[in-house]
A and B are shown apart, each in its own frame.
Chain A
């Protein structure tokens, strides 16, 4: 067991910064960050990817959802340093040379948004759902989206949009 003397002294100077290198929407990006920088601030502030929204800031609302190595996470509740070496997908990464992603088309056509604030998170969570379960029931869609809050309460059309995207992919 370490004695008190051997233990690290309380931090006085700013802590060491860390290089974070991520593949964000297919592009290699890196920056020096303080360990306490949250992933959502790294994406929005450092990388300029402001499509990822900050909603509740308490990991309740899901507006800040991004995919890390394909898995939805709440980027307000992850540190940027944790993303080092990982692949991040934000809403900016959905459109390709061929045009809108099928989930974007579906949200557009089914009017799956009102104010649009929750939409990036809703779409990213939906993409992960459809990858795992290409033909989800309405109930499965609702459960999968239960970590994403729509403050406009536009859930009916969001569910329809996910159903339409599933249909389009068949």
Chain B
């Protein structure tokens, strides 16, 4: 298999990349890690007229903390996240998700920002970053905006990104010092897409939950935040009853479908069990 024909651009600067995108509009795709895009092009599900390869642009591969906020550049690979000391503790939801994405070789190439822009409802980063209240920085020639991840995902493989825009960075707000989280994923075999994934990210204040983030993978048309489950926890002490109640609500909010990975009923049960398990783990820190 090989892709359809396309023009190839490998700009050396962000400005050049954005003006190339501007020129092609809907007909161009950005190439970062290529771990989703190239397979789609080989299957001819995607036949872009041009590829804009951003891998030669310097300064997009930074993973850093600035003023308490986490910044993930457009070329940060899964592998970098997997090995980063930053993504433990208060950003444990991200550090726990990274090594569960695909397999080690794919993780060497694939990027966090590319995964979000691809917007696969089975994508792991979408849930981990939704739970952490992340937003994407979208740039175009002469313009820039920030989009909360909640508003970014519109549906399966569909985002709020305009064709002329590029995700240049992902930003994750400081959850505060007393924060913890995790990402739990059920897969049929190593490297598979999630049957179900659950991201949990909690901030505590004087023994109560100040803010909770719970997001679900592969049980809806996009990565879903479990709003009702979150509302049941916010401002409350995290006792066993509330954990069970939040898990029950999250399972209700999930929108699973029967497929080769399991029945909808089974997946709903996995959501319940994983939310409960994730919350207990976050409580332990």
Question: Chain B: interface residue count, which band?
Answer: 35 or more
Measured CB to CB, the closest approach of chain B to A15, in angstroms, equals: 5
Q: How far, in angstroms, from A125 to B108 measured CA to CA in the complex?
A: 11
Q: Which of B8, B34, B53, B55 gathers most chain A CB within 10 Å?
A: B8
> Interface size for chain A: under 10, 10 to 19, 20 to 34, or 35 or more residues?
35 or more
In the complex, B49 has a CB within 8 A of chain A: yes
Tell whether A146 pairs with B34 under 8 Å between CB atoms, given A35-B6, A36-B4: no
Closest to B79 in A: A71
Query: Which B residues lie within 8 Å of A35 (CB)?
Result: 5-8, 51
Specify which chain B residues have a CB less than 8 angstroms from the CB of A8 in the assembled complex: 7, 23-24, 27, 49-50
Contact of A1 among B7, B24, B106, B164 (CB under 8 A): B164
Cβ of A79 within 8 Å of any chain B Cβ, yes or no, is yes
Q: Which residues of chain B are within 8 angstroms of A7 by Cβ–Cβ distance?
A: 23-25, 27
Taking the nearest CB of chain B, how far is it from the CB of A13, in angstroms?
9
Chain B 2-43: CB-based contact to A (< 8 A → 1; otherwise 0) = 111111101000000000001111010001001100110110
B6 and A71 within 8 A (CB): no
Please, which residues of chain B bring their CB within 8 A of the CB of A77? 34-35, 38-39, 106, 109
- Of B24, B31, B35, the residue contacting A59 (CB under 8 A) is B35
Complex-state Cα separation, A73 to B9, whole angstroms: 21
1/0 contact trace for A23-44 toward B, CB 8 Å?
Answer: 0000000000011111001000
Report yes or no: A10 in contact with B27, Cβ–Cβ below 8 A: yes
**Contact B106 A59, beta carbon cutoff 8 Å:** yes
Q: Which residue of B lies closest to A10 (CB)?
A: B49
Complex contact A148–B34 (CB within 8 A): no
Q: Identify the closest chain B residue to A84 (Cβ).
A: B10
Tell me, in angstroms, the Cα distance from A16 to B10 when the chains sit together: 13
Given A6-B23, A8-B49, A8-B50, are A72 and B105 neighbors across the interface (CB < 8 Å)?
A: yes
Q: Which residues does chain B contribute within 8 Å of A18, judged by CB atoms?
A: 8
Look across to chain A and name the residue whose beta carbon is closest to the beta carbon of B143: A1
Bound-complex Cα distance A151 to B50 (A): 36
Instruction: Knowing A10-B27, A73-B109, A77-B39 are in contact, say whether A143-B4 is a contact too (CB < 8 A).
Output: no
User: Is A74 touching B1 in the complex (CB atoms < 8 A)?
Assistant: no
If the complex has contacts A8-B23, A8-B50, A81-B53, are A144 and B104 also in contact, measured as CB distance less than 8 A?
yes
Contact assessment for B108 and A73 in the assembled complex, using a CB-CB cutoff below 8 Å: yes
Report the nearest B residue to A2, measured CB to CB: B22
- Compute how far the CA of A148 lies from the CA of B39 in the bound complex, rounded to whole angstroms: 17
| B104 partner residues in chain A, CB cutoff 8 A | 72, 125, 143-144, 146-147
Interface string of B102-129 (1 = CB under 8 A from A): 1111101100000000000000000000
Q: Is A169 on the interface with B (CB-CB < 8 A)?
A: no
Are A78 and B105 in contact, CB atoms less than 8 angstroms apart?
no
CB distance B5 to A79 under 8 Å?
no
Central interface residue in B6, B22, B38, by most chain A CB within 10 Å: B38
Q: Does chain B have a CB within 8 A of A11?
A: yes
- Complex Cα distance, B188 from A60, in Å, reads 14
- The answer for the CA separation of A148 and B108 in the assembled complex, in Å, is 14
Instruction: Determine if B23 and A78 form an interchain contact, defined as CB atoms under 8 angstroms apart.
Output: no
Note all chain A residues with C-beta closer than 8 A to B191: 60, 146-147
Interface string of B153-181 (1 = CB under 8 A from A): 00000000000100000000000000000
| Whole-angstrom CA separation of A82 from B55 in the bound complex | 8
Q: Is B46 an interface residue (CB 8 A)?
A: no
Q: List 23 A-B contacts (CB under 8 A).
A: A1-B22, A7-B23, A7-B24, A8-B24, A11-B5, A11-B6, A15-B7, A18-B8, A37-B2, A38-B3, A57-B1, A57-B42, A73-B109, A74-B105, A74-B106, A79-B8, A79-B38, A82-B31, A82-B53, A125-B105, A146-B191, A147-B191, A148-B105
